[in-house]
Amino acid sequence: MTLPVTVEVGPLSFADVVAVARHDAPVVLSAAAREAVVRSREVVDALAAAPTPTYGVSTGFGALATRHVPVESRARLQRSLVRSHAAGSGPEVEREVTRALMLLRLSTLATGRTGVRPETAELLVALLARGITPVVHEHGSLGCSGDLAPLAHCALALIGEGQVRDPEGRLVPAAEALAAAGLSPVELGAKEGLALVNGTDGMLGMLVLALEDLRMLLRTADVAAAMSVEAQLGTDRVFAADLQALRPHPGQARSAANLVALLRDSGVVASHRGGDCHRVQDAYSLRCSPQVHGAARDTVEHAATVATRELASAIDNPVVMGDRVESNGNFHGAPLAYVLDFLGIVAADVASMSERRSDRFLDRARNHGLPPFLADDPGVDSGLMIAQYTQAAIVSELKRLAAPASVDSIPSSAMQEDHVSMGWSAARKLRRSVDGLTRVVAIEVLTAARALDLRAPLNPAPATGAVVRRLREAGVEGPGPDRHLAPEIETAVGLVRDGAVVHAAEAVIGELA
């Protein structure tokens, strides 16, 4: 087994976030980052000792910022901030989300703009390294002043309070998990509580993970579309590069090139190229696949540009600027919220087209000679009839999830925080959308594979044939009498989710665009 490469914090890449969040890659604080942390802490210590109040250092927070807090109460101030802000509710969020959130908060601490002490940053490194994961809840963030409640639950663990999951996944008190790992809680100093909770890290972490998944899913959608075009006796001529160049969107060109490569040397496609084929045009769900998948790809890349900028950001309020601390509004989640919502639209529309392609296979009036519902004995057997119901139910849910969260705003903190992004909510629903798209595309792959088998003795393209074989090797059976379908659907979902469908095709034709 290959061990994950150690991720060094400062600046992070998408791959770094995925490696730590999903694959438990070890984390270290770079020497430069540690030096930056030390320098910014010296500034905060100097301001804390000064008689003039400084927001976040010697005052209350939010609507209580006018209160000057005396020196003897400042340790309590930081503890109180973390305890009161750890007000999340509902189910636990996924472990990978919490780990991404912790890593991204650490990345901002490493910029030297927050004023935390080195030992506080190092304890966050240690929690990631030891696999100790604070319990973060579904509800609590408005996506402005950052993801306050989720981050506060993580900060709570640093002071030895609240609940965490230990490396074995058991729910235990934070103090117990720290002790078992040989770690001691920190006593938060001036500004540290605020620095630990004021960031867009949850939103950004979920965006980066969704981008990783969507890039694979859109390549898989091209594979599924190629299988459907082929098995429904469609033409590949509409995907030619010269036709696509008439509308030079880069995502469209890549998707069309994938379809051409996937359908190359198809015996099924070759069987109806002659002059005796009287079909003029294929349905939109077949013919326009590159236009829709391509627009989705371009949207994903726009979102990736936003995420890249955010990864290079220092999100806190106030921030250390040279020898001073300044208030700002960089914690507002609007840039992330907008693209998170945009990607929800992408997931819904790509899934909608996938479901339409699948449905064509099941209707004898539209499937060009295949049995109704691809059933073995139609009437006795129902074939894949209800698999399309499952797709339709998911697509309907995806359309509801595509309604934007970022257009809503509920004022908070006694009207001090009078406009918020709801970006955390946008991110949470996008995770459900990505899962739904995975399931819809998997059912299309399963359906198209059965249809390709039913086209025998015509041979599919080498690439699509490899996908059919991969399904069969995994236990998704070919045509035959009705059987329990749900396990086969879940197997197909797993093959889509882990990239096996794409990899099967790429093993034959090389890497897809």
142-195 pLDDT per residue, tens: 998 889 999 999 999 999 999 999 999 999 999 999 999 999 999 999 999 999
Same domain, 242 and 365: yes
Cα dihedral 179, 4, 97, 29, rounded to 10, equals: 60
Same domain, 223 and 182: no
Residue 102 has pLDDT above 90, yes or no: yes
Same domain, 186 and 210: no
* Residue 309: predicted pLDDT: 97
Percent over 90 (pLDDT), the chain: 86
Domain count, the chain: 2
Same domain, 191 and 236: no
In angstroms, rounded to a whole number, what is the distance separating the alpha carbons of residues 144 and 331?
Answer: 6
In angstroms, rounded to a whole number, what is the distance separating the alpha carbons of residues 352 and 350?
Answer: 5
Same domain, 117 and 79: yes
216 located within any domain: yes
Same domain, 105 and 123: yes
The answer to whether 118 and 37 are in contact (CB under 8 A) is: yes
* Residue 361: predicted pLDDT: 97
Residue 1 has pLDDT above 50, yes or no: no
User: Of the residues 55, 284, 338, 389, which is catalytic?
Assistant: 55
Half-sphere exposure of 204 (CA within 13 A, CB side): 34
- Average pLDDT of the chain is 94
Roughly how many angstroms between the first and final C-alpha of the chain, as a whole number?
Answer: 28
Same domain, 75 and 184: yes
pLDDT 10s digits, 106-129:
999 999 999 999 999 999 999 999
Residue 321, beta-bridge partner list: 324
pLDDT 10s digits, 419-429:
999 999 999 99
134 located within any domain: yes
Which of 182, 199, 216 finishes a domain?
199
Omega prior to 318 cis, within 30 of 0: yes
In angstroms, rounded to a whole number, what is the distance separating the alpha carbons of residues 140 and 202?
Answer: 12
Which of 199, 231, 248 finishes a domain?
199
* Residue 287: predicted pLDDT: 97
Domain of residue 59 covers 7-199
Same domain, 89 and 130: yes
CATH number of 72's domain: 1.10.275.10
The answer to whether 88 and 142 are in contact (CB under 8 A) is: no
Least confident of 41-50, 334-343, 446-455: 41-50
Same domain, 134 and 191: yes
Same domain, 63 and 147: yes
CATH number of 367's domain: 1.20.200.10
328 located within any domain: no
Same domain, 179 and 284: no
Amino acid symbol at 11: P
Which of 146, 170, 199 finishes a domain?
199
- Rounded mean pLDDT, 331-353: 97
413 located within any domain: no
- Rounded mean pLDDT, 308-327: 93
pLDDT 10s digits, 273-307:
866 565 668 999 999 999 999 999 999 999 999 99
231 located within any domain: yes
Rounded to an integer, what is the distance from CA 244 to the centroid of its chain? 29
Q: Which of 244, 79, 94 is nearest to 162 (CA)?
A: 79
Q: Is the pTM of this model over 0.85?
A: yes
Is 284 among the residues known to form the active site?
A: no
Residue 435 has pLDDT above 90, yes or no: yes
